[in-house]
Structure 1
């Protein structure tokens, strides 16, 4: 087929019409996303990303409406590896009344999606009062992968001074311990929760709430965290550590 050019017409117009996308279309990961490694046997779908890393960076997104109006919105988090490549995106599912009436003690469902938009983790927290003075109202969180299949739990341990938690496997057997500082309000510095062996004799990792600057710390509840764990740790327990980070965020750093 031949094209003729007449007058001021140009065979290659500068304007390009957008190509419509089919409903439900999910774009492929960009170069900023971590490539998906091969999934080993016994690894839940989507968690193969965790087999090759020993640390995670979690960035809570800032909501402008929440800052201006003071109305609590659903939390959203980007989860990256140490190179800054995207691994997961997490979003809270909650209604407006629960968020604003119950505050940081609210129950929640957090869904964790991979780079293709597939749900790989479901984190569930029931409604319980927050406070170390009442041992009968200790916090807990269930982690499912894939959704509907529990792979572990985060259980708060009673202690009069320090935040303490137990990381459990799917059989509710203790695997790791978490211990935070007596004071979680350290100005201009990071707050570190140590990951310890079950007997608490060895430190094997940490969850670090990073200082993000005066303005952000004062006027928002958007926080940054870093998680470190052994490279050879069971991939399911690595996923439970993500849930532990979110639970710590809600209990100690959500309210501003």
Structure 2
């Protein structure tokens, strides 16, 4: 008789699978002032989870805008990235780290009409842009720094009253399959920053 270990299904670490994919789903699991958790899915399979650990306040914060610390944990339970959003409304960003090393930053760019988010590498070089249409947080295009469209983000519309009040969002994110892994993670984090700002804007108005 084969040992249980020999017959157990092989679990491929989520980041290894993410590195091969061109489309994933980002699903918000919980939403509150102190706790926002998301999961990244390939179909029904969990790849990674974004778990908020702590939050912080800033004297310049307004409305419901706030800083936070989160961990990204893969499907084997291993912490693979840490995230930090400083509690400031002036230069809104999320820093992405592996251990002590900064690997990317997602930043909100101040614009008059169209929401824009930018992805920078560890050296602070602009790599990617996420651009929405006027006052629209449902659809974003993913662009290179030269503004060539290579993917996008689409927010699933609410279909029930319960979903409207729960404010738990689902997104479909597409990017080139050969995009560098840290940049794929940064695009996902950019979507999380976008989601935070969307709900903070609604709470303040």
Q: TM exceeds 0.5? A: yes
Query: What TM-score comes out, normalization by structure 1 length?
Result: 0.68
For the residue of structure 2 that corresponds to 1:105, the secondary structure is coil
Cα contact 1:212–1:224 (8 A) shared by 2? no
Name the structure 1 match of 2:167. Answer: 221
Superposition map of 1:49-128 within 5 A = 49-62=17-30, 72-81=33-42, 83-94=43-54, 104-128=64-88
Structure 1 position 124, deviation (Å): 0.9
**What CA RMSD, in Å, does the superposition of the two structures yield over aligned residues?**
2.4
Name the structure 2 match of 1:197. Answer: 144
Structure 1 position 168, deviation (Å): 0.9
Cα distance between partner residues in 1 of 2:114 and 2:163: 22
Cα contact 1:104–1:250 (8 A) shared by 2? no
Residues 1:102 and 1:92: Cα distance change in structure 2 (over 3 Å): farther
Unmatched 5+ stretches in structure 1: 1-29, 38-45, 67-71, 130-136, 186-190
Q: Which one has the bigger strand percentage? A: 2
Cα distance between partner residues in 1 of 2:40 and 2:63: 23
Cα distance between partner residues in 1 of 2:100 and 2:133: 34
Task: Give 1 or 2 for the bigger CA radius of gyration.
Answer: 1
Cα distance between partner residues in 1 of 2:54 and 2:27: 20
- The answer on 1:48 being equivalent to 2:48 is no
Structure 1 position 227, deviation (Å): 1.0
1:81-115 C-alpha deviation (Å, 9 max, x unpaired): 1x2211111111225x85xx966411011111011
Cα distance between partner residues in 1 of 2:91 and 2:146: 21
Name the structure 1 match of 2:196. Answer: 250
Name the structure 2 match of 1:163. Answer: 115
Cα contact 1:78–1:86 (8 A) shared by 2? yes
Cα contact 1:207–1:226 (8 A) shared by 2? yes
Name the structure 2 match of 1:20. Answer: none
Name the structure 2 match of 1:36. Answer: 12
For the residue of structure 1 that corresponds to 2:19, the secondary structure is helix
Query: What TM-score comes out, normalization by structure 2 length?
Result: 0.83
Cα distance between partner residues in 1 of 2:66 and 2:17: 30
1:217-255 C-alpha deviation (Å, 9 max, x unpaired): 431221111111001111110111111011011001355
Unmatched 5+ stretches in structure 2: 1-7
Name the structure 2 match of 1:141. Answer: 94
